[in-house]
Amino acid sequence: MITEPAMPGDKLRIGVLASGSGSNLQSIIDRCADGSLAATIAVVISNVPGAGALERARKAGIPTSCIDHKKFADRQAFDREVVAALQIAGVELVVLAGFMRIISDVFLEAYPQQIINIHPALLPAFPGLHVQKKALEYGAKFAGCTVHFVDGGVDTGPIIIQAAVPVLDSDTEATLAAKILKEEHRIYPRAIQLIAEKRLKLVGRRVVVDPPLELAATAQHNPALD
């Protein structure tokens, strides 16, 4: 349980929500520790008792809270409890990292444009679940991952950053998922750092980095051109 009130500080206070093993959480913990991410993980919340993410947080000395969605009558009641825990911890940015719950209006209204998610596909292709398998079966030549702001849809919010990985004939669902996950661990802390630096502006549904970063300027081909 979270008992301490939030203390004001310089660093962006983030709350990480995770249902699974928490490898993305770990990449955020590691970047906070090495100083490349100017954020404080104020709390880690899971809806799954025994989730690996909770153990990773405890090892790093981060406050945790387990809020089991099965104990709530409906989605809104569960979200109210999660939002209360985030607010008590003084969270400014909500980071969904493998959080297997759909967010309700309660959440979106409490944290407008302050919730981000990572998805293991190149959105808008392959929203939803089992997307590495879907990309492989579809025959896509590139797969990847996307960090995006969360809106009322499923994986539909404005895109912050993407990483593309080539799909090889030899890939299985497992090898493709592993390649994508490696890139997730690189782009998620980077996206949070851009938010911490207040460098993201929403223009329509386009996310613009200001001052701009060097953009990927070369096309990639798979299979390669002669």
Residue 220 tokens read as: 């990639």
Q: How many other CB atoms sit within 10 Å of the CB of residue 3?
A: 6
Among 63, 98, 144, 157, binds ligand GRF (CB under 6 A): 98
Residue (17 or 42) nearer to ligand GRF, CB? 17
Residues 26-65 touching ligand GRF, rule: CB under 6 A, are: none
Please tell me which residue in 119, 148, 185, 221 is annotated as part of the active site: 119
Give residue 84's identity as a one-letter amino acid code. A
Among 93, 184, 194, 200, binds ligand GRF (CB under 6 A): 184
Distance between CA 126 and CA 169 in Å, rounded? 19
Report how far apart, in Å, the C-alpha atoms of 116 and of each of 44, 148, 164 are.
15, 6, 19
Question: How many Cα atoms are found within 13 Å in the side-chain-facing hemisphere of 79?
Answer: 16
Residues 116-145 touching ligand GRF, rule: CB under 6 A, are: 118-120
Distance between CA 188 and CA 119 in Å, rounded? 10
Position 157 contacts ligand GRF (CB under 6 A) = no
Position 183 contacts ligand GRF (CB under 6 A) = no
**In the complex, least distance from residue 215 CB atom to ligand GRF, rounded to whole angstroms:** 23
Q: How many other CB atoms sit within 10 Å of the CB of residue 138?
A: 13
What residue is closest to ligand GRF based on CB? 98
- Beta strands at 200-203 and 206-209: parallel, antiparallel or unpaired: antiparallel
Distance between CA 137 and CA 176 in Å, rounded? 12
Among 20, 127, 158, 166, binds ligand GRF (CB under 6 A): 20
Among 23, 114, 162, 193, binds ligand GRF (CB under 6 A): 23
Among 24, 40, 46, 47, binds ligand GRF (CB under 6 A): 24
Position 21 contacts ligand GRF (CB under 6 A) = yes
**In the complex, least distance from residue 20 CB atom to ligand GRF, rounded to whole angstroms:** 4
**In the complex, least distance from residue 223 CB atom to ligand GRF, rounded to whole angstroms:** 26
148 is catalytic: no
Distance between CA 178 and CA 182 in Å, rounded? 6
Comparing CA positions, the residue from 56, 42, 37 lying closest to residue 14 is 42
What are the residues binding ligand GRF (CB under 6 A)? Answer: 18, 20-24, 97-98, 118-120, 181, 184
Catalytic amino acids? 119
